[in-house]
Chains A and B, each alone.
Chain A
Amino acid sequence: MKQIFTRPESLKDVATHFCPGCHHGSVHRLVAEILDDLGIRSQTIGVASVGCSVFLYGYFDVDVIEAPHGRAPAVATGAKRARPDRIIFTYQGDGDLAAIGMSEIIHAANRGEDITVIFVNNTTYGMTGGQMAPTTLPGQKTSTSPYGRDTAKDGSPFKMAELLATLDGVAFSARVALNNPKNVLNARKQIKTAFRYQVEKKGFSFVEALASCPTNWGMSALDANQRVTDEMIPCFPLAVYKNSANL
């Protein structure tokens, strides 16, 4: 019998702490598949952030640096400048990257650091219990926006993939989703392209993955998948916003 589906070598054979229906596991798997595909696992160093993504080192079979909240792009910058022969990626959530770490991501991107940033946008702070995030949708109720996000007071969601694409230092920027097979296949393709940019030393690459958080959204996994289609994608359109070298 031919084996057609197996665990990627870059992913450890352990249970994750992620909640049922959470898309972090899917993003982990796709990144691991790409590290295998490109044969770069042995050169790769991951930079974990703070939040649900902090346990990166427990799941990826690569060396990992754990960064302070929001600082992963600065940590990755230091690591890449010290070891330009390594593949360095950060893995960050929306609170980490678009709130407390906005300065670090913008400047690392603007310098055109040869790193890959995987940004998981689930419109909430997952680990701390579902507070309002910089990407929380207008009107969305969270534990710190109990009446719904009021754009007049709280501002509107940051559209990071579009924002970063405007910077000269960014070589590749795309937004993907994981809520159905078609979107997962496209996500795999874009994540692969992002890592190819780094392998070919063509500059800063960024993939924003729209992800579900059934626990903090108070939904079933299936309803959460549907919410990605119904509410998130209209606000955060799926597209490749920049592909400067046409990889």
Chain B
Amino acid sequence: MQAAALEKIFVKGNEAVAMAALEAGCRCYFGYPITPQSDIPEYLSRELPRRGGEFIQAESEIGAINMLLGASATGVRAMTSSSGPGISLKQEGISYMAGSELPGVIVDIMRAGPGLGGIDASQADYWQATRGGGHGGYRIIVLAPASVQEMYDLTMMAFDLSDIYRIPAMVLADSVIGQMKESVIPNPRPVTVLPPKEWVVRGREAGEAQNVVKSLYLGDGEMEKFHWKMAARYEELAEKECRWEEVQTADAELIVTAFGSVARIAKTAIAMAREAGMKVGLMRPITLFPFPKKAYAALSERCKLFLDIELSTGQMIDDVRLAIARDAEVAFYGRPPGAGSLPTPEELFEQIRKNYPTHA
């Protein structure tokens, strides 16, 4: 990988995820076929065994996430991927991993729902991803790529952040980002200082301390202590790891905010608006958890109007509202997921024009 590191390649978003996982040192992949993410298991079923890794097509997404749990408990880097219906099945295992402080990467290429829904792009699993998704009250790291390059880079980052904080990390994309082809620079694995994994199950010689990977806390006060410990870790994440992209926000009278594929479309619409003389900017969160609250708060000190656009009836808007100053407002434009609901740049331009403050 290193030798070819700087040569541009032309790949699908899902392939970029798989390639990045290999570059990040992922040794085990466990998955189950579901559209629109099946390119990931297909790629890794071919490439992982060649490199001495393990690929298993599991009996179910429940099987796959628990294989991830088991592999991760031994200290190796491991990954699973799926889409809506499968991610729902994985929630049990994700909760146990969160409760056991296990790292591990989960890729969610969102499709329309609820239920079987459809295979078109969706952002309606924002709540499921950023609120933990399973039982018990926990958070996971959520990274939202908006390009195939970011599919590559953020997948590698997911492995690092997950190992550093001992929290499962999710790459949250949709079928547009997963299925489209773009050129990518396959960057080498970033040099990151990782804490030693002293907690792994490994078999033990006499006299060595017993390691147990578990989420059961029955002792008086133990569970409460765990929750406060994790709350502090989430705070640390928010302090150190928030990532976002701002485009032309400095003089903006209206800031469009969107993540993933919608942010890409919004960029074109914003360029059209600038062309038409409107001062419009973009705020694109890259980490959805931790949500870049401080960056939103700072923007809202000057710009008092936001336009939140999502492929849902509005989920991220909750976080935007909580983050911005009290005298700032958020307008909303949503296209709930399903065939034909992906907005055009012209459509978003029209929304910008409609919401643009008249005093400006």
Contact = CB atoms under 8 A, between A and B. Distances in A.
Contacts, number: 132
Contact of A68 (B66, B202, B204, B212): B66
Interface centre among A9, A43, A62, A78 (most CB of B within 10 A): A78
A82 B69 contact: no
Nearest to B80: A78
A241 interface: no
Interface in B213-230: 213-216
Interface string B247-286: 0000000000000000000000000000000000000000
A47 to B, nearest CB: 7
Given A74-B63, A81-B28, A65 B70 contact: yes
Interface in A97-142: 103-104, 106-107, 111
Interface in A65-113: 65-68, 71, 74-83, 86-87, 103-104, 106-107, 111
A45 B214 CA distance: 13
Contacts of A80: 70
Interface in A1-48: 9, 42-45, 47-48
Which of A77, A82, A83 gathers most chain B CB within 10 Å?
Answer: A82
Given A74-B58, A107-B63, A63 B201 contact: yes
Given A54-B216, A65-B73, A75-B69, A42 B60 contact: no
A83 B60 contact: no
Interface residues of A, number: 35
Nearest to B215: A66
Interface string B37-81: 000000000000000001010111011101111111111101000
Contacts of A199: none
A107 B213 CA distance: 24
B73 A81 contact: no
B344 interface: no
B205 interface: yes
Interface residues of B, number: 40
Nearest to B60: A103
B71 A78 contact: yes
A107 B60 CA distance: 10
Contacts of B30: 78
Contact of B210 (A63, A67, A106): A63
A45 B205 CA distance: 12
B211 A63 contact: yes
Most buried by B among A47, A74, A77, A86: A74
A64 interface: yes
A75 B73 contact: yes
Nearest to B96: A68
A208 interface: no
B71 A43 contact: no
A66 B67 CA distance: 13
Interface of A: 9, 42-45, 47-48, 54, 57, 61-68, 71, 74-83, 86-87, 103-104, 106-107, 111
The 6 A-B pairs of least Cβ separation, nearest first, read A78-B70, A78-B67, A74-B66, A75-B70, A78-B71, A66-B214
18 contacts: A42-B203, A42-B205, A43-B203, A47-B70, A57-B210, A57-B214, A65-B212, A66-B100, A74-B66, A74-B69, A77-B63, A77-B70, A78-B72, A80-B70, A81-B67, A86-B203, A107-B59, A111-B56
